[in-house]
Chain A
Amino acid sequence: MQLSGAGIGGLMVAGIPVLGNTVAPERLLEPGADAAAKKRLADVALNAAKSKGATYTDVRIGRYLQQFLFTREQKVQNVVNAESYGIGIRVIANGTWGFAATSDVRPEAIARCAETAVAIAKANSRLQTEPVKLAPQKGVGDVTWKTPLQKNAFEIPVGQKIDLLMKVNSEAMKNGAAFVTSNLFFVNEQKYFASTDGSYIDQDVHRIWPTFTVSAVDRTSGKFKTRDALSSPMGMGYEYLDGLASEKIAAPYGLVGYRNSYDMVEDATLAAKQVKQKLSAKTVQPGKYDLVLDPNHLGLTIHESVGHPTELDRVLGYEANYAGTSFATLDKWKSKNFNYGSKMVNIVADKTQVGSLGAVGYDDEGVPCKQWDLIKDGILVNYQAIRDQAAIIGENESHGCCYADNWNSVQFQRMPNVSLKAGSEKRSVFDMVKGVDKGIYIIGRGSYSIDQQRYNFQFGGQLFYEIKNGEIVGMLDDVAYQSNTQEFWNSCAQLCDQDDYRTFGSFFDGKGQPSQVSAVSHGSATTRFNGVNVINTGRKI
């Protein structure tokens, strides 16, 4: 995960990439062009590319809507409503990909854009040594898909959203925060896909992410600490903010886990109390500890140490110049006995899980979505592959995980949801903590870093609690753990059950050049890892 910049011509607001033009909030509720009109435009592109010599063409007509709200304390800093509309045309000519995009959607401009895509493909085909081979994909005809949601977030008035953030901020301040920032992010991708395979796919995809950061400052010592929200971005509507009691999971030390419903005010209240405790928390003694990792923390470790290394484009070297390659090489997979993790490690790739960020009906090259195993009983069994890669791993169909973050970005292999299956034995996090003699219970996403082949990593967190002889004895500070991916997953010793299972997510996973963002979820139950190396990150300047 590396957010290093927005796409072409991107605007950054508070470090967050905004795609497209800012518009009035009500504009986000206007329907875009209807499917029949988009089909006509798509056909213009398909025909123009074919007439210039393309052997395959796909067209994405995209309307991307975003609403971002930024506040601090009792101030609204910014409300951004953005819309981006245009067409991206991808072709194969002389066995080589070409891509061009335009925000001018008049038929003559679309035809010109298709011609540019073909010209680019032809110019580059002279350098081609590996002609593109696409896994077969039968056209699916005219179909639609929509994120299952109860409340379209774009229909909720901005005023109501600001009221919520003001309540979050005031509760945080009331409970001892020195500062608080809170944000709401809403995304709606209205994507129309057409290809020369005979697919015309209309999809309406929604995502939501509420988050905040509370800070505590001790002026006398000059120390400051922060605690971020323990929410998860979701593929849901505004109903995620209902804060249903039935979706709360009680954890030791008064901590609360949120499953498919988030209580933002409650979390901010807890955060304000905890961030003050962080100021006086005991600094960690470096050494080996058994780690009890909450799903809201473990999701990022799964993302970095399993999600990225099993991306086939990385394995093959396509990301060598940027994100890097992978230690999970083809020979390890072919051996059918590479112990990625201990026997209890079962990790699935998925593009269908309801409420997840990765869920869509079809990917951005028109392939129906599905679920498949990546690691089964600890053994590496598969990768994440798209149409032009499937043949390399002996499969005759794509896994359906191709994605572009905007109409003007070219689609490529992106991570589906990658999740660790919960344990089959009945076990709560209370039970798990009881079994640990010397350990640390880690909650929330903190600092994270991993090498370009995904061997060596270091992770921090939001909250650290010391476990001694089966009891939590207090809060720790300056904690980070360093490990090696294979060693770490082989130290996986115990899993909580399905009742504890939750998703973690990221709105802005970065990959590719130019860098594109993608949203992805990672589910797990609380999990124990034995004997992991913990370092102390305290310094003086």
Chain B
Amino acid sequence: MLTREEAKKIIDKVLSYAKADETAVSLSGGRTGNIRYARNSVSTSGESDNMSLAITAVYGKRSGTATINEFDDASLEKTVRRAEEIARLAPENPEYMPMLGPQKYLDTNTYAESTAKIDPEYRAKAAFDSIDPCRQKNLTAAGYLEDSTGFSAIGNSKGLFGYNRSTGVEFSITVRTADGLGSGYAARDVNDTSKLSTKAATEVAMQKALASSSARALEPGKYTVILEPTASVELLQNMMGSMDARNADEGRSFLSKKGGGTRLGEKLFDERVNIITDPMNAELPLSPFGGGGGRFGGGGSDGRPQEKVAWIENGVVKNMYYSRYWADKKGVKAIPSPGGIIMAGGTQSLADLIKSTDKGILVTRLWYIRAVDPQTLLYTGLTRDGTFYIENGQIKFPVKNFRFNESPVIMLNNLEALGKPVRAGGHLIPPMKIRDFTFTSLSDAV
């Protein structure tokens, strides 16, 4: 783990050796650790350290990258020369864009000391807090905790420099009944591990496992559903990942318009749908640079600052994301692809949403989601780990899992109500009530 000053010193040294037209340096490293358990016992656990430096040299429109994990002067210089050699031999990239100059980055807060201090004992205790309550109730726990602590620094020969350090913990737990007829799930993700209780999350999964036992079969068809954030997050994430402007302009996106052009500015969703990204959000802080991705923040970055962006406002498509090349060609701002998405919601709790439902199905989790048709963003997948029938504002009984075939675009038009957003899978998502959600078959899976 390098400080800002230490990282800058190495990057400056690399740049002092550079002879190419342009040179960029990316330095990142850190530690990740994990513990995995199943059958109420730890199955695997490990820890891994890594630090590496990537140097990209550019001549004209030819670029070359070389990487190293040794940091003495001779190694650094050798790697600069190697990147320059590769660049000279590389094919021209007609879409190459000159590197960015100095950028102003937001001061986001993605680091927590509590997470950086995690050690094997901490992970063992976190697993114990999850396994022990299950053992006591004759339930079976399978869970996974992964923590990462690292930094990412970028710099180039045009004076750009950025540094960010971040921590993160992801935890998920599946609890099954001894007879295999009930299964419950919960997941949490935090930057600061002092906000995580593996025990509390496990208790939610335990409750769902017990309540989901001996599910009844309902006919597949169109149902009002309440999607918990762990259920809807992947569909929303997939939709946001499909908002690439170039694909839309080229006629091969759900945002392409019949007759040519795009659907930017069109109202495609219910007017209550508002989706933004905001690296400064206190509940979901993000790296200030990079187009998302990379456990330590800023992976694969071209140095573009992450800023607050409205993607969907009152149901209207407000922005698409661009490569720098395509934005330049189109003469628009090169908005990078979204990181953690924030969907606005209301004040109602999940319990409130259930209470206001005459007939419906509560879905804990959707699983094995795959694109069926990119034209309509039709996805298929299945419910899993806690699916319940609601009648007159109450959960009546568990139901067998369904396969769905549904598009998030259709789903966000059939919006009935939104609850209070919570963090799920690196995003902030409200529980949502949707009418006419399409279930196409039943599954015997528990």
Is there an interface contact between A321 and B173, defined as CB atoms closer than 8 Å?
A: yes
Question: Which of A120, A217, A460, A482 is within 8 Å of B403, CB to CB?
Answer: A482
Q: Is B232 close to A, CB under 8 A?
A: no
Knowing A120-B46, A224-B256, the reply to whether A23 touches B67 (Cβ < 8 A) is yes
Residue in A22, A119, A320, A454 with the greatest tally of chain B CB atoms within 10 Å: A320
Interface string of A7-29 (1 = CB under 8 A from B): 01101110000001111110000
Residue pairs across A and B with CB atoms within 8 Å: the count is 270
Q: Is A369 close to B, CB under 8 A?
A: no
Stretch at the interface among B85-93, B223-231, B276-284, B350-358: B85-93
Q: Is B214 close to A, CB under 8 A?
A: no
Question: Which of A75, A449, A484, A533 is within 8 Å of B370, CB to CB?
Answer: A449
Stretch at the interface among B4-12, B142-150, B154-162: B142-150
Knowing A453-B446, A455-B443, A482-B441, the reply to whether A179 touches B250 (Cβ < 8 A) is yes
Interface residues in A, total, Cβ within 8 A: 91
Interface string of A287-318 (1 = CB under 8 A from B): 00000000000000000000000000000111
Knowing A23-B67, A75-B95, A480-B372, the reply to whether A220 touches B259 (Cβ < 8 A) is yes
How far is B444's CA from A9's CA once the two chains are assembled, in angstroms? 37
Interface string of B274-311 (1 = CB under 8 A from A): 00000000000000000001111001100000000000
Q: Is A456 close to B, CB under 8 A?
A: yes
Knowing A127-B124, A319-B38, A537-B405, the reply to whether A327 touches B258 (Cβ < 8 A) is no
Is there an interface contact between B445 and A456, defined as CB atoms closer than 8 Å?
A: yes
Q: 8 Å CB contacts to A: which residues of B22-60?
A: 28, 30, 32, 34-50, 52, 54
Residues of chain A contacted by B40 (CB below 8 angstroms)? 129
Knowing A22-B65, A453-B446, the reply to whether A541 touches B251 (Cβ < 8 A) is no
Question: Which of B28, B268, B443 is within 8 Å of A451, CB to CB?
Answer: B443
Q: Is A426 close to B, CB under 8 A?
A: no
Question: Which of B43, B68, B258, B403 is within 8 Å of A318, CB to CB?
Answer: B43
How far is B177's CA from A317's CA once the two chains are assembled, in angstroms? 12
Knowing A77-B93, A127-B131, A317-B176, the reply to whether A456 touches B86 (Cβ < 8 A) is no
B253 to chain A, nearest CB (A): 8
Is there an interface contact between B174 and A321, defined as CB atoms closer than 8 Å?
A: yes
B342 to chain A, nearest CB (A): 21
Is there an interface contact between B259 and A513, defined as CB atoms closer than 8 Å?
A: no
Residues of chain B contacted by A116 (CB below 8 angstroms)? 47, 120
Interface string of A313-348 (1 = CB under 8 A from B): 000111111101101000000000000000000000
Is there an interface contact between B373 and A513, defined as CB atoms closer than 8 Å?
A: no
How far is B292's CA from A12's CA once the two chains are assembled, in angstroms? 11
Q: Is B215 close to A, CB under 8 A?
A: no
A328 to chain B, nearest CB (A): 12
How far is B140's CA from A130's CA once the two chains are assembled, in angstroms? 14
Question: Which of B32, B173, B176, B185 is within 8 Å of A9, CB to CB?
Answer: B32
In the complex formed, the residue of B with least CB distance to A83 is: B67
Question: Which of A117, A215, A537 is within 8 Å of B378, CB to CB?
Answer: A537
Q: Is A277 close to B, CB under 8 A?
A: no
Stretch at the interface among B190-198, B380-388, B428-436: B380-388
Given A22-B67, A120-B46, A318-B142; 11 other pairs, CB 8 A cutoff: A116-B47, A116-B120, A127-B41, A162-B91, A408-B50, A452-B367, A453-B444, A478-B373, A482-B403, A537-B372, A537-B405
Q: 9 A-B pairs, CB-CB below 8 angstroms?
A: A24-B85, A99-B45, A123-B120, A124-B127, A222-B256, A224-B251, A449-B380, A451-B445, A537-B373
Q: Which 3 A-B pairs have the closest CB atoms?
A: A21-B67, A222-B258, A456-B443
